[in-house]
A and B are shown apart, each in its own frame.
Chain A
Amino acid sequence: MIENRKTQLLKKTGLRLLGFLFTMLILSIVVFCFARWAPGDPLQSFYGDAVESMTSEELGAARSRLGLDAPLHVQYAKWVTNALGGNFGLSLKYKKAAMDVVTPLIGNTLILGVTAYLLVFALATLLAVTCALHEDTWLDHIICKIGTGIYYLPPFWLGVVLVLIFSIHLRWFPSSGAYDIGKAGDILNRIRHMILPLIVMIVSHLWYYAYMIRNKLLDELRQDYVFLAKEKGLTKRQIVWRHCLRNVAPTIVSIMAISIPHVLSGTYIAESVFNYPGIGALSIESAKYHDYNLLMILVLIAGALVVLSSIAAQTINEIIDPRMKETGVSAWQR
Chain B
Amino acid sequence: MAKVENSRFRKVGIGWKKVEPVALKPSLKKRLKGKPVFSVIILLFIVTGCLFAGQLANHDPGSFYLQNVNEAPNAEFYFGTDSLGRDIYSMIWYGGRVSISIGLMSMAIISVIGITYGCISGIANAKIDALMMRIAEMANSIPNLLVILLLMAVIGKQDAVTLSFVIGITGWFALARIVRSEVRQIRNSEYVLAARRMGVGFPRIMIRHLIPNFVSSIMFVVVSTISSSMSMESTLSFLGLGLPVDVISWGSMLSLANRALLLDTWWVIIIPGIFLLVTLNCITSLGNFYRKGNTKRHSNL
Contact = CB atoms under 8 A, between A and B. Distances in A.
A268 interface: yes
A268 B153 CA distance: 16
B100 to A, nearest CB: 15
A236 B145 CA distance: 42
Nearest to B280: A152
B142 A303 contact: yes
A31 B141 contact: no
A161 B270 contact: yes
Given A154-B273, A221-B299, A261 B266 contact: no
Interface string B235-253: 1001111000000000000
Interface string A281-301: 001101110101001001100
Interface string A266-288: 00110010000000000110111
Nearest to B126: A333
Nearest to B135: A26
A268 to B, nearest CB: 5
Interface in B102-149: 130, 133, 137-138, 140-146, 149
Nearest to A236: B301
B240 A288 contact: yes
A153 to B, nearest CB: 6
Nearest to A239: B301
A261 B144 contact: yes
B225 interface: no
B261 A160 contact: yes
A265 B140 CA distance: 12
A160 B301 contact: no
Contacts of B138: 23, 26
A125 to B, nearest CB: 17
Contacts of A240: 301
Interface in A8-54: 23, 26-27, 31, 34-35, 37-40
A164 B273 contact: no
A73 interface: no
B241 A306 contact: no
B74 interface: no
A38 B140 CA distance: 22
Nearest to A155: B235
Chain A, interface SS category: helix
A290 B138 CA distance: 25
Task: Give the secondary structure class of B's interface.
Answer: helix
Contacts of B227: 152
Contacts of B231: 152, 154
A221 B284 CA distance: 28
A156 interface: yes
A39 B153 CA distance: 9
A302 interface: yes
A321 interface: no
Interface stretch (A58-66, A189-197, A224-232): A224-232
B146 to A, nearest CB: 5
B144 to A, nearest CB: 6
B300 interface: yes
Contact of A157 (B277, B299, B301): B277
Nearest to B151: A34
A171 to B, nearest CB: 12
A163 B153 contact: no
B58 interface: no
Contact of B153 (A153, A224, A262, A290): A290
Closest 3 A/B residue pairs (Cβ): A226-B300, A287-B153, A287-B149
Given A34-B151, A152-B277, A221-B300, 12 more contacts: A31-B150, A38-B153, A135-B299, A152-B227, A152-B280, A152-B284, A223-B300, A224-B300, A240-B301, A290-B153, A295-B150, A303-B142
